[in-house]
A = this chain, B = another copy of it.
Amino acid sequence: MKILLIVGDGMADRPLKELGGLTPLEAAKPMNMDRLATSGISGFMNALSLGVAPGSDVANLAILGYDPHRVYTGRGGFEAVGAGIELRDDDLAFRCNFATIDSAFNVLDPRAGRIGDEARELTEALGDIRLKSAPNIQVIFKHTLGFRGVLVLRGEGLSEKIELKAPEAGLKIDDIRPTDDSEGAKLTAEILREFVKETYRILRDHPINRRRRGRGLPPANAIIPWGVGRRPHLKSFRELYGLRGACVAAVSLIKGICRLADMTVIEVRGATGDVDTDTLAKAEAAIEALEKHDLVFLHVEGPDEASHDGDLEGKLTIIRKIDAMIGKIMSHISLDEACIALMADHTTSLRLRRHTADPTPISIAYAEALRDDVQHYSEREALRGGLGRIKGIEVMPMLMNIIGRAEKFGL
């Protein structure tokens, strides 16, 4: 028996007034998710613990069975590895956003209007960046997907002791500050501020940005690093579970986690990490991957992005697209051959536009399941599911038990 683990990033939500008190999952009426819930057993999950809002990094680590309290070394490391950079132990890595800032270096739009492929061209304009504040530090920037990129600083004397918030409107570049008195922290903060200013210098009048302004779009006139991290070290998935694992995901964070776990990372044409992603292509990739692997981790980023934008229509759209993806999968995969587990890694509140600690629904369908009477995959019905309350770190042991490969203690 095999395992298909499906995560809709930030898919869970709170009841919304504009939906008459329904959540987006309830309002979208996702019939295939409901069929999955009806064919299995459901419950509600906190990726970490009750009352702790997880980042996508630690939530997905926990779901794959890696205790974030032990392995988490900051987001940047996962992102850089996911972007294909051979990260060294001494490197400092950062997630980056193409953003819109003003001439006083205040963030106006943290995602530059969700710029797409144009960011690739802007990246080419950057060339080799050399910084006055640290001529011996190598600066490696790589564009990944849409408004996203990664930055790696390589060289001596760097420190991760810096304050670096995820960019949002109102953030100032001067907010990049050392959090201790070390020379390394001061130097690193200076490098990062100079990096932002340097990208602004190069990008502000780039033809693409002139064109964007002309069309009333926010220019991607700077690159903002955040999520500092060191290279993480994960036990290989195969060593941990004896399973051949594969990953179908668009975003570098998830690819990085899976690459570090030595899973096969499958690239899918049309996977954008956004609401416009091609979920049916991802379904096909997952179905195919399941032929040669024991576990496939299928991750869809879109719901989280729509929630951070407060984009209700977008969230409903991507939920329905994930539902179609699940429909395609369920018409190809028998629940005798594989168990299919569906969950959100965390709740992203559309109203608050951020992650919350609300538990998220999880449904696990397989032929031998003790079916409960949950009829819908939703936050509300999950609360009376037979699984009860579980934690992210318990998901993999539960799935291993379902396929008859539970850890044993005693005789």
Binary interface encoding of chain A residues 206-247 relative to chain B, with 1 for a CB under 8 A from any of its CBs, else 0: 000000000000000000001100000000000000000000
- Per the bound structure, the CA–CA distance linking A68 and B411 in Å amounts to 12
Complex contact A51–B384 (CB within 8 A):
no
In the assembled complex, the Cα of A332 lies from the Cα of B358 at a distance in Å of 27
Residue A202 at the B interface, CB < 8 A?
Answer: no
The stretch from A29-37, A175-183, A186-194, A385-393 touching chain B is: A385-393
Structural contact, B51 and A401, CB atoms closer than 8 A: yes
CB contacts (< 8 Å) of A57 on chain B: these are 410-411
CB of B407 within 8 A of CB of A51, answer: yes
The yes or no answer to A185 lying at the interface (CB within 8 A) is: no
A356 to chain B, nearest CB (A): 6
Q: Is A72 located at the chain interface by the 8 A CB criterion? A: yes
- Determine whether A70 belongs to the interface, using a CB cutoff of 8 Å to chain B: no
User: How many subunits of this chain does the assembly comprise?
Assistant: 2
A355 within 8 A of B: yes
What's the nearest-Cβ distance from chain B to residue A398, in Å? 5
* A408-B55 contact in complex given A384-B372, A401-B357, C-beta closer than 8 Å: yes
A381–chain B nearest beta-carbon distance, Å: 10
Binary contact track A283-309/B, C-beta < 8 Å → 1, others 0: 000000000000000000000000000
Q: Mark A364-379, 1 if CB is under 8 A from B, else 0.
A: 0000111110000001
- At the interface, yes or no: A129 with Cβ under 8 Å from chain B? no
Judging by beta carbons under 8 Å apart, are B394 and A383 in contact? Answer: no
Whether B53 and A356, one on each chain, are in contact in the complex, defined by CB atoms closer than 8 angstroms, is no
- 30 A–B contacts from the bound complex (CB under 8 Å): A41-B383, A44-B388, A49-B397, A50-B390, A50-B397, A51-B396, A51-B397, A51-B400, A51-B401, A51-B407, A52-B397, A53-B406, A54-B408, A55-B408, A57-B410, A58-B409, A59-B410, A75-B410, A166-B411, A351-B368, A354-B404, A355-B408, A356-B401, A356-B406, A357-B398, A357-B406, A357-B407, A370-B383, A372-B383, A372-B384
Interface residues of A (CB under 8 A from B): 14-15, 23, 41, 44, 48-59, 68, 72, 75, 95, 166, 226-227, 349, 351-352, 354-358, 368-372, 379-380, 383-384, 386-390, 394, 396-398, 400-401, 404, 406-411
